[in-house]
């Protein structure tokens, strides 16, 4: 076993909680509704059989689970939904102390979903920067010295923003060169190379922030540390585009897990559909179920935008459809290097415009698994009349037996 199973809600990043056997059978299904509105028990029960026929299922061991859309959860204001429809290029993460889910909706602000997942609200007393146009392309919540921090990788403003519940404590902009152990990467930034952070994660054992920068010629993983109270670029950096001899083809998502008790930085490389594992110093390791080249090769057409870890499973929101996903993108679920199922949000009533998946946050509540899915609106498609929206939806995994 890669991870030690425990029957309790445990923080991600350190060890994934084994999911098999934890999920209690629950059939509080929902559909025929738009997100953010309440529905009666009769409505919820009436659609259970219809949703059971979707392809949104997955397998763990000999158990099969299906996803049900929980439209009674995640209520949003009209203003938040309007902002998301045109600009949700996002991921979300869970605060490890309060269990809130947080993200930034561009031109709206920093929002938090309460621990019961009932309603999204703007975070009080937040810095105006969060509503000024930055996005939450990548998000990570972490704890240092018993204090909770929220970090966001904003591609459209080219910065990593670190905050304490909306109070900004640091903004990491482009490295200048000379900060890292890799001279090739130092030269890239000395020469004015573009910095476009796609995702960020904190590695607790290494006490480092790891940032991936796939939206630039410099397709790297970079390290930042808190040195004497100031967050700054320093230490390990690695990667590079495949065209330049590196492993990445748009490093787009990053997470931290453990393999055989060791901390591992896992990177989703979007364009060629691969998942890599590294130590925090940048040494590539053999991922469970990986090829001889050490990476996990995803099915053809897979282009993961982010990854979320829970139990022994990876949850990978894909930007575009697979060959058999009926023209809409799924969240691919992978265990042991192999697909074990999927979630296709656009299959569910009221969510038919969730064509492109960009973020997914797997969380556990009372022994049940939930997924918060975030979709990306393709402006080019919308201009051509193929409507698709940025939406957030919550799903519950229930026994299919």
Residue 341 maps to which CATH number?
A: 2.120.10.30
Residue 271 belongs to what domain range? Answer: 74-345
Beta strands in 36-137 (DSSP E): 57-60, 63-69, 93-94, 101-105, 109-113, 120-122
- Residue 13 placed within a domain: no
Question: Where do we find the tokens 């909706």?
Answer: 105
| Number of structural domains the chain divides into | 1
| Contact criterion met (CB below 8 Å) for 158 and 197 | yes
pLDDT at residue 54, as a whole number: 66
DSSP 132-160: TT---SEEEEEEETTEEEEEEEETTTTEE
Q: Encode the chain (401 residues) as per-residue pLDDT tens digits.
A: 233 332 233 344 434 434 444 443 332 332 333 333 333 333 333 333 444 446 999 998 899 999 999 999 999 999 999 999 989 999 999 999 999 999 999 999 999 999 999 999 999 999 999 999 999 999 999 999 999 999 999 999 999 999 999 999 999 999 999 999 999 999 999 999 999 999 999 999 999 999 999 999 999 999 999 999 999 999 999 999 999 999 999 999 999 999 999 999 999 999 999 999 999 999 999 999 998 889 999 999 999 999 999 999 999 999 999 999 999 999 999 999 999 999 999 999 999 999 999 999 999 999 999 999 999 999 999 999 999 999 999 999 999 98
pLDDT at residue 40, as a whole number: 33
- Residue 199 placed within a domain: yes
CA distance 15 to 2: 9
How many other CB atoms are found less than 10 A from the CB of residue 1? 7
- Residue 68 placed within a domain: no
pTM greater than 0.85: yes
- Residue 244 placed within a domain: yes
- Residue 147 placed within a domain: yes
CA distance 336 to 20: 14
DSSP 252-284: EEEEEEEETTEEEEEEEETTTTEEEEE-TTS-E
DSSP percent split of the chain into helix, strand, coil, nearest 5:
10, 40, 50
- Residue 31 placed within a domain: no
- DSSP label of 83: H
- Residue 140 placed within a domain: yes
- Residue 279 placed within a domain: yes
| Contact criterion met (CB below 8 Å) for 111 and 102 | yes
């Amino acid at each position: 076993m890669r991870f030690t199973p425990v029957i309790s809600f445990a923080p991600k990043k350190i060890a994934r909680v084994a999911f098999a056997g934890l999920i209690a059978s629950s059939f509080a299904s929902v559909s025929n509704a738009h997100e953010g509105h309440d529905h009666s028990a009769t409505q919820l029960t009436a659609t259970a059989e219809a949703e059971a026929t979707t392809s949104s299922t997955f397998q763990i061991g000999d158990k099969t689970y299906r996803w049900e859309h929980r439209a009674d959860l995640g209520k949003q204001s009209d203003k938040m939904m309007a902002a998301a429809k045109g600009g949700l290029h996002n991921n979300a993460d869970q605060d490890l102390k309060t269990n809130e889910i947080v993200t930034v909706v561009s031109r709206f602000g920093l929002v938090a979903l309460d621990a019961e997942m009932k309603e999204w609200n703007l975070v009080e007393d937040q810095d105006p920067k969060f509503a000024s146009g930055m996005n939450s392309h990548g998000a990570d919540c972490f704890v240092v010295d018993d204090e909770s921090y929220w970090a966001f990788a904003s591609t459209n403003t080219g910065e990593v923003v670190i905050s304490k519940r909306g109070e900004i404590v640091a903004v990491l902009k482009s490295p200048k060169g000379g900060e890292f152990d890799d001279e090739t990467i130092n030269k890239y930034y000395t020469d004015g190379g573009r910095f476009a952070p796609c995702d960020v994660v904190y590695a607790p054992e290494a006490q480092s922030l790891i940032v991936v920068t796939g939206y630039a010629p410099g397709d790297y993983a970079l390290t930042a540390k808190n040195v004497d109270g100031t967050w700054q670029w320093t230490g390990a950096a690695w990667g590079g585009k495949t065209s330049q001899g590196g492993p990445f083809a748009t490093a787009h998502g990053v997470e931290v897990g453990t393999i055989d008790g060791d901390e591992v930085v896992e990177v989703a490389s979007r364009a060629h559909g691969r998942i890599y594992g590294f130590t925090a110093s940048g040494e590539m390791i053999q991922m469970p179920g990986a090829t001889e080249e050490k990476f996990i090769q995803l099915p053809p057409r897979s282009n993961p935008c982010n990854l979320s870890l829970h139990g022994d499973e990876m949850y990978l929101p894909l930007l575009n459809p697979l060959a058999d996903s009926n023209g809409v993108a799924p969240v691919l679920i992978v265990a042991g290097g192999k697909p074990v199922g999927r979630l296709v949000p656009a299959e569910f009533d009221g969510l038919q415009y969730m064509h492109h998946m960009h973020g997914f946050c797997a969380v556990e509540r009372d022994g049940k698994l939930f997924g918060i899915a975030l979709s990306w609106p393709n402006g080019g498609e919308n201009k051509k009349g193929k409507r698709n929206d940025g939406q957030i939806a919550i799903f519950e995994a229930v026994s299919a037996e």
